Structure 1
């Protein structure tokens, strides 16, 4: 049976070049970076190199990169750290209704501790209205946090313009760029963001390592207390192999970015055309102009997406009903709800995400099986409806 992986927005395989770079730091170069002898110094040097590689991908300074365990930790630190640092100046945060739960749940936590949060809506393309953003600002606003690219339906937000509004009002600006890293051009200086969350496992690096871009001059309290690691901002012995892997993945992403974007966009558009022309009653969720190059979010009307996902899995095709972090939840997608998609249509929605190892043959195999399975499920659904089941 053919195996097709179309869930790159959930996670990516570690590239061979990345793994090869990592392996020595599990074995011969295993020293603690805080140690003074040679193998400790080797590890410290490797961290410095990786910091430069990650910084190079986003146009940052090396000392503006703080390694964390994941994107969620970076999100938590940005929001809770800002709340702590700015609590004497205000208690209001602005974000969007379509954020990753790492931001949404952190906002709910802060609301329980006296903070107020405004959740901006989005249009049918999944993008915020900049006028609404500016209108939401009060004299108590201390942070604006808007994700760069949505993880479910791939909408790219106007980050540069939103950050400019924040700067005009003297407000810190954070963006969750976990889905954007390695998939669009990012220059943090040009964008004008103050903080940015990143994760290695979305760009063919290892799981368990992320980073925060913290603009020079933005001072957050440390999130994990203990030793002096990560410029005294995040205590704990560094995960050197993972950091090395993140650095190499960032280097590869920078080298291949233009080709990567062009290739994924072409495959994405081909797949959408094939599905929507060969299968009736399929809707594309989100707009196409400002979209992640590898994201395809589709509603297959009159069927349950979970049933379709399971049957595709039996054919060796891996996809998602939405965010992998929410896969255990039966609650309709908050992202598609914010787009105005009716509940019955949300339950028929699936996310296909294309990556560096996806081929046209993979997509043809997927379309072939979709045609057969969707027709079968709709027949069952029609019979059930007629019999009142």
Structure 2
């Protein structure tokens, strides 16, 4: 068990201690939202302890926000574990996680357990065993999954006192699994901080259209569709290039190899660049003309789409699930059929041909998004979300177990 930013149980007299569990130390959508959640509770005067199963780039940022970070093994649900071949690992991770989590709970003695995503269910179970109030912040929405899978993933949520869903789509997906979850679910749209300074779109895009993808490199997220769309545009005589920002999950290196092979086979090595993981999307967005969010499957929300709008860039998004909700109401957003590279190319061609109007709309949309996804408003709603839970009164002494 590793400690970052302090060790042991917080000792601040009269302050509540909150244990926040998160499944990774990356810097993608839900990770960045988690930073704002942590800051909300720190700002409210709580001692915040964050537990994650591994160290990574998120860790120092959490410490900067005022949290103590504890690296503790836990079960993180992955698809490979939910198979007969993965059953043994599922059991061993569960046993190890329960033991390590129990030790941490005894050391920290939290007043509340906040689990960030449904992929780390053991923390909700441990909270129930210790009769502690618990909240789960749901960032997933497997609406297209088989009903039995949806119910299995949602089952641990029945033991949480409250649920926070990051979109109406996520909340409805939970309700489809277990109707009784609706009464304890509140929708809080993600707080998404924009760039420190907005770089205005280019005056024209006559030389080339600069396309951007930001996200995990996985078949689900569809970066291969961006490569195909750029190829299609160039076949039509429209100069286009693409930067692809993101990295693969461990074990998905084969997909990155496929992307590189596709770029080579299509003779796009001078037009498509894999930039790897970037700690912030803003430089890439500032250098781009339009962002594409081409997810093939359901998404609970669409942080990346919102980031494009906050950067005053037109965005092309799959017309599905939470992406539809995230980009709704923005004039610079175009919606396309999921999985259709030609439709993406059509949307990009239309944006290029109507650039003056689209870029002006993007500047107007930026102001709307900055208000709709205000970080301060998000943090206020997160603090409100624990109102009424049986937490230790402020100023009360902690009784050691």
**TM-score greater than 0.5 by the shorter chain:** no
TM-score by length of 1: 0.30
TM-score by length of 2: 0.29
